Chains A and B, each alone.
Chain A
Amino acid sequence: MWFASPDEVRGRLTAVDYLADDGIATSVFLAGALGKPLLAEGPAGVGKTQLAKAVAEATGARLIRLQCYEGLDEARALYEWNYKKQLLRIQADDGAWDDIFSEEFLLERPLLRAIRSEEPTVLLIDETDKADVEVEGLLLEILSDYQVTIPELGTITAMRRPYVVLTSNATRELSEALKRRCLYLHLGYPTPERERDILLAQVPGLPASIADQLARTVATLRALELKKSPSIAETVDWAHTLLALGRTELDEALIGETLGVVLKHNSDQVRAAKELGLPSRS
């Protein structure tokens, strides 16, 4: 049992500076209680990966991370035989043909490590949408039964189910089969009230009035039709920037000067400056 109730989730995540709303608290609780993987989807920089780290930290579990990328395959995700070592063993001892497929020659990769782990483990499968579609098929077996079949060794079943978090930026739709096996959590941009609390938790020393102004300004920016809306991570960067500049008042000139921290496209900056009536920088 990972958590006893959604309220406990909220309390323990807050203790590690991750502010959970109702949706996050409930799905994190359910993922533990039902033993199902949690799929967190949403734009970049809203705290998807951070959520998995926070769960690991809050529960004192070990975090195992599988970073997905194009071309990720079984050998990198699951396990691989250590060919070089096997070859050496055969050369050294002619009678060794039988025992080169044993524990000694097995290279554990994140998925196998998470399954075989005896201590509580949080398995983070990051940016699942970046991996090829075949990897999803591989994940399906592991996520539904929590077991791995290695032809030479047999089937390995998890002694202790890992807590699985998958994240996705939705650059492509994950397959229905994978989604069906997961609990789904959509992480979007927070309300200004929640973002202010996040700022206060993440940026120590930030005056509450600035946090409030920042959160509301970012909400106003997000309401514009921009190519890329500022993420929470960028808002936090913005707060750090202002703190580093030693400014305690957020005025239009300052916003205009530091807009590049949150808006990374020139056309977005021009648009924001125009719509918000900021002094132009050029």
Chain B
Amino acid sequence: MTTPGSLVDRHVGFVHALREAGLPVSPAEGLDAAHALMVIDLAERETLREAYAATLVKRPAHRPGFDLLFDLWFPPVTTGAEGTAVAEDAEDAELPELRERLAELLMGDPADPAFREFARAMVGRFGQVQAAPGRQSWFSFPVLRALSPETLVARMLAAMLAERGGLPEKVARRHIARTTEAFTEAVASDVRRRISEESGVEKIARSAVRPPIDRVDFLRATKEELARLRREVYPLARRLATRLSIRQKRGRRGRLDFRRTVRASLSTGGVPLTTHLRPPRPHRPELVVLCDASDSVSTFSHFTLLLTFALREQFTKVRAFAFVDTVDEITDLFAPGADVLDAIGRLADEADIVRFGRTDYGHVFERFAERFPDAVGPRTSLLILGDARSNYQVPALGTLKRLAGQARHAYWLNPEPRAQWDTGDSLATSYGSVVPMHECRNVAQLAAFVETLAS
């Protein structure tokens, strides 16, 4: 095999960067990718990208990080070699003209090559900023501020629609939102490319890749990531349910099924050669969820609530209670067939969970034991969701101990990293000594926990 040295180096460097970003790329897969490079046309950049993706990226969650690194390692252009008509136009056009051009592009197809070329030209023109005296650097925000695509929406809607309102406007807005996002991403990608040309590709690669969606911290997720997380709820619930039912089927076998055994023995002359057993009775715990609905952890508790209700079939009964500094039952909001997203929106308005607005775990436990004495019984799994930060109030450990004692199992899921437990007003260790506390920062940890819960 005679491959130019530089290509091998690029390949090895790229595979290494993927591993650094958390993609599990095995040496065998690296070899597969190298084999693939031998049979494709290397000048076709998209083919190269897909060849790498097919051989190295085996989980959809890893694809965004992969694309980002690919753009850095195999940039579409290098500065100084652009020289397209679009770029030259952009050099001397006036701003209103450029905005006009952007509006046209945003109404069209984002896969059009002119789209990316325009984004690159705009970064070249507006993206450079004095970062420190004598040091230039590249940024996205001056580009987006100069062109401000969001102020073009009204004009684009007017051009796309005969009359405003109704479904056509929704559809048009969706299209504009999608292309604007693509433009923002194209600008960001070109900014990263220019930075990597100046200060080395390894450096920017390390800081630019977001973790895959199932490793994103609940408490640090961006708005887009939250939307994507919520979209993951049903697939995740389905995956978990499948795994749980597989496990139940192969767990302990049931009692002898006399009827089936005798019937099967007829074909062997009445000798029961094979015994048939009844399927085991599935063990389905009752679940009581107590969730902290205060702002600091609401993203986490909402997601977990969504998941528990999506997994409803795995439990005989699910009851949910929300609290900030007092507690109320919210099970009704999640009745079967109800829109769970709505339910979460209504949670804050309809449930009586706030007195003064500062989380007070101690008062909540007292109140819970008093108002819902029959909620926790010997068949119940009690699940508490929260960060155990009680604003220096009385912890009411005794009450919690009693509740945990009544329940069959009790668990506490804490969305904070373990290193932050017990700092400030966190009572993680005190509560953790009564109810076993699990760190639950991302979807992967949550999924692992749910598996242990329902088995």
Contacts and interface: CB of A to CB of B under 8 A. Distances in A.
B50 A225 contact: no
Nearest to A39: B58
B94 interface: no
A102 to B, nearest CB: 27
Interface in A1-33: 5-6, 22-23, 25-27, 29-30, 33
Interface in A136-162: none
Nearest to A228: B234
A5 B41 contact: yes
A67 interface: no
Interface string A241-254: 00000000000100
A219 B54 CA distance: 26
Contacts of A29: 40
Interface stretch (B166-174, B252-260, B426-434): B166-174
Given A217-B167, A220-B171, A255-B167, A22 B338 contact: no
A266 interface: yes
Contacts of B55: 30, 183-184
A223 interface: yes
Given A23-B53, A30-B39, A173-B239, A217 B337 contact: no
Contacts of B230: 225
A208 interface: no
A252 B165 CA distance: 11
Contacts of B29: 180
Interface residues of B, number: 48
A172 B239 contact: yes
A192 B175 contact: yes
A276 interface: yes
B166 to A, nearest CB: 6
A219 B176 CA distance: 12
Which secondary structure characterizes the binding site on chain A? helix
B341 A225 contact: yes
B50 A216 contact: no
Interface string B317-357: 00000000000000000000111011000000000000000
Nearest to B336: A267
A277 B166 contact: yes
Contacts of B49: 22
Interface residues on A, range: 35 or more
Q: In this complex, which of B41, B49, B54 has the most chain A Cβ atoms within 10 angstroms of its Cβ?
A: B54
B26 interface: yes
Contacts of B246: 132, 172
Given A172-B239, A216-B175, A30 B167 contact: no
A5 B43 CA distance: 13
Q: In this complex, which of A30, A173, A179 has the most chain B Cβ atoms within 10 angstroms of its Cβ?
A: A30
Contacts of A22: 46-47, 49-50
A108 B186 CA distance: 53
A36 to B, nearest CB: 7
A193 B109 contact: yes
Nearest to A191: B111
B44 interface: yes
Given A22-B50, A30-B51, A171-B242, A188 B167 contact: no
Contacts of A172: 239, 242-243, 246
Interface string A198-215: 000000000000000100
Interface string B29-45: 10010011001110010
Contacts of A132: 246
A6 B32 CA distance: 17
A5 B32 CA distance: 17
Contact of B174 (A183, A219, A270): A219
A244 to B, nearest CB: 22
B241 to A, nearest CB: 9
Contacts of A180: 26, 28-29, 58
A26 B32 contact: no
Interface in B368-420: none
B47 A6 contact: yes
B234 A227 contact: yes
A198 to B, nearest CB: 15
A266 B337 contact: yes
A33 B39 contact: yes
Contacts of B54: 23, 26-27, 30, 183-185
Given A5-B41, A170-B239, 6 more contacts: A22-B47, A22-B49, A29-B40, A183-B54, A271-B341, A278-B167
Interface of B: 24, 26, 28-29, 32, 35-36, 39-41, 44, 46-47, 49-51, 53-55, 57-58, 60, 63, 109-111, 166-167, 170-171, 174-175, 178, 227, 230-231, 234-235, 238-239, 242-243, 246, 337-339, 341-342
